[in-house]
Amino acid sequence: FRKMTELELTGKKVLIRADLNVPVKDGVIGDDTRIRASIPTIEAALQAGAGVIVMSHLGRPTEGEFQPADDLAPVAKRLGELMGRNVAVVNDFNGFVVKAGELVLLQNVRCNKGEKKNTDELGQAYAALCDVFVNDAFGTAHRAEASTHAVAKFAPIAAAGLLMAGELDALGKALKAPASPLVAIVAGSKVSTKLTILETLSDKVDYLIVGGGIANTFLLAEGHEIGKSLAEADLVENAKRVIAKIRARGGDVPLPADVVIGKQFSPTEPAVIKAIGDVAADDMIFDIGPDTAARLATVLKTAGTIVWNGPVGVFEFDQFGKGTEVIARAIAASPAFSIAGGGDTLAAVAKYDIANDVSYISTGGGAFLEFLEGKVLPAVEILEQRGA
């Protein structure tokens, strides 16, 4: 695909699809990471002498309706603060013409009829606003919607922005041609939501580290007692296949030899360390144990590439967060090319303050997961179809 940086933008009308879908509560923005991550592309287009229209969705509004919670005004305000200029919101973009040097934000695209359905009409209406369409919304690249897909069919030129290109570059480096050994950490509450990822990675990884409910299902598959721990008994055969496949390739799925258990899920529940063989029928596993964490840290130290999605324990309760902390610090200390993504993972990155020590942190949630699944992201595919 084309990259925005390769294009001549002086005097051009540039329409940038960003992912400014940030948490907003009562008009107050929680985490503005995605807004910050979108600025380099906007700045570069303005500096090249373009007029810039930015568009994004916010939340999941009902199409054709507009509620106060759908308003992108707080996002425009924060974007303006961060860029040191005023950013106006354009509510009705029909007939709108942007001037060189101007920067505006279109109102929440998901309120437009045809956005979710990816209609050609809406794609054409967006395309009519610009000379160049730039997709910089990696976080929304797994959605084929009018502002991510149809518009790219009809715009005179369609290209990837800096963030989009950077994300694809980093993810490609981690998964398409990884420096070995490749270690993936896939953790979280359910195997079912990450089964495709586990299956896809089983063809690639040297080590698969599992955690949380996913590890419990894998422990079941290996015949261990897990008490009342969260697990999916119906996916034990799938877990067995993943383990067998990786071992057949000479890799390993190092399962916890010790765990941290509690009797109930509560912030004040005392943490008890047990060998996996000592887990009782009324125990619940909430974290990996210290011996396991130390062993995994050694694996991470010698990795060439690390892909991290999901905390290995209930890290929101400090007494069950040690495993995730050891893993986070080991990733931070490892010379490997490391990449982290997904909501819970980013919360752990923030909690243990290792953002500067991870090689790349993805802004994608669902898009990051679908990339790990090996799926084609439709918003990227259409840019590729539009050629280089």
Q: Which residues bind ligand 3PG (CB under 6 A)?
A: 19, 21, 60, 139-140, 143, 365-366
CB 202 within 8 A of CB 245: yes
Please indicate whether residue 343 is annotated as part of the active site: yes
| Cα distance between residue 193 and residue 126, in whole Å | 34
- The active-site residue, picked from 190, 240, 274, 386, is 190
Q: Residues with Cβ < 8 Å from 67, sequence gap 6 or more?
A: 61
Task: State in angstroms the smallest separation of the CB of 364 from ligand 3PG.
Answer: 7
| Cα distance between residue 340 and residue 101, in whole Å | 35
Compare residues 13 and 57 and give the one whose CB is closer to ligand 3PG: 57
Task: State in angstroms the smallest separation of the CB of 291 from ligand 3PG.
Answer: 36
Task: State in angstroms the smallest separation of the CB of 21 from ligand 3PG.
Answer: 3
Task: State in angstroms the smallest separation of the CB of 383 from ligand 3PG.
Answer: 17
316 is in an annotated binding site: yes
Compare residues 287 and 370 and give the one whose CB is closer to ligand 3PG: 370
Please indicate whether residue 351 is annotated as part of the active site: no
Query: If you search the block for the tokens 């990816």, which residue do you land on?
Result: 118
Q: H or E stretch including 194?
A: helix 191-201
19 is in an annotated binding site: yes
62 is in an annotated binding site: no
Please indicate whether residue 240 is annotated as part of the active site: no
- The active-site residue, picked from 2, 17, 34, 245, is 34
Please indicate whether residue 12 is annotated as part of the active site: no
| Cα distance between residue 216 and residue 212, in whole Å | 7
344 is in an annotated binding site: yes
295 is in an annotated binding site: no
CB 14 within 8 A of CB 130: yes
DSSP character at residue 97? -
Question: Which three-class secondary structure string do you get for 124-151?
Answer: HHHHCCCCEEEECCHHHCCCCCHHHHHH
Residues that constitute the known binding site for substrate: 19-21, 34, 57-60, 110, 143
**Annotation: binding site for (2R)-3-phosphoglycerate:** 34, 110, 143
Binding-site residues for ATP, in ranges, read: 194, 316, 342-345
Active site residues: 34, 190, 343, 366
